[in-house]
Amino acid sequence: MTAITDEDFTLAGEYVLGLLDAGQEAVVAARIATDSDFAAEVEAWRLRLNPLLGPEHLAPAHIWPKIEKALPAATLQDVGTAKLTFWRALTGLSVTAAIFLGVLLLQQPAPTAPVANPTPMIAALGSEDGRSAMTASYDSTQGTMLLMPVTLETGELYPELWIIPADGKARSLGVINGDRPTAMDVSPDMRQYMNEGALLAITPEPAQGAPGGVATGPVLASGKMIIL
């Protein structure tokens, strides 16, 4: 640690103000990385001067969806471990399978009149640590959902599936089979919530489902419904 001189104080201020040329900036950036006293002085200048960069303004609501869309695909984001990569690859595979099954489902003999604008939706449900738990594919024309569990450990309890629409309230879709792929009918009063952007989530609950329709267990996995 070197003693901070007046030259250092001004240098830190010059750096924060952006007065330096590219070469000097690079030198200062290197010093910040190696000299914590100097880094603290840069931070102090930022705190002093940042009020000049205000006041706050509410960002328009359409910005976030654009940012989210522009992020690289989650599978490309390196988080490091091979295990994670494996699970992500598996998620990819089961999503593909879900899409395939979803398409099959849609190709089942149509009712007498052709259906307008079928909107197949899928969701990949993963745990907080990124592990794939289940994929779901929903056919809104039939109100049918295909569930393909990947890993769903609920111990002595049973996986209960919830739909959480924009209002943030979790509504039960019922206890599901966590061991093998199944097709379920979404009850007619729940179909209104099965929209793009709604969240599917799984909690461990007693065999007969969460008492009073309120989740008691922690969320094991969740995923947003997206339109194909």
Partner 1 sequence: MPVVARANHPEISELGSKAALHQPNAFAILSRMTISLGPTDLDSARRAKLAEALVQAGRGDRNAFATVYAATSAKLFGVCLRIFPDRNEAEDVLQDAYLTIWNKAASFESGRASPISWLVAVTRNRAIDRLRAKKKVGTSSIDQAAEIADSAPLADAQLIEQADDRILHDCISSLDQRDAMFIKNAFIGGSTYADLAKNEGQPLGTIKSRIRRALLKLRGCMEGAA
- Positions in 80-139 near partner 1 (CB under 8 A): 80, 127-129
Only one of the segments 7-15, 100-108, 115-123, 174-182 lies at the binding site for partner 1 (rule: CB under 8 A); that segment is 7-15
Q: Which of residues 140-179 bind partner 1 (CB under 8 A)?
A: 153-157, 162, 164-170
Does position 70 interact with partner 1 (CB under 8 A)? The reply is: yes
* Per-residue exposure over 15-38, b if at least 16 CB sit within 10 Å of its own CB, e if not: bbeeebeeeeeeebeebbeebeeb
Does position 222 interact with partner 1 (CB under 8 A)? The reply is: yes
Does position 79 interact with partner 1 (CB under 8 A)? The reply is: yes
- The CB-of-4 to partner 1 minimum distance in angstroms stands at 11
- The CB-of-59 to partner 1 minimum distance in angstroms stands at 4
C-alpha dist (Å) from residue 106 to 119, 180, 217: 10, 21, 34
Q: What is the rounded CA–CA span in Å between residue 141 and residue 56?
A: 45
Residues paired with 161 in a beta bridge: 174, 202
**Phi, psi at residue 121, to the nearest 5°?**
-125, 150
Q: Closest Cα partner for 113 from 141, 78, 143?
A: 141
- The CB-of-109 to partner 1 minimum distance in angstroms stands at 35
Does position 18 interact with partner 1 (CB under 8 A)? The reply is: yes
**Two structure tokens written together for 202:** 């799984």
Q: Which of residues 24-63 bind partner 1 (CB under 8 A)?
A: 32, 36, 39, 43, 46-61, 63
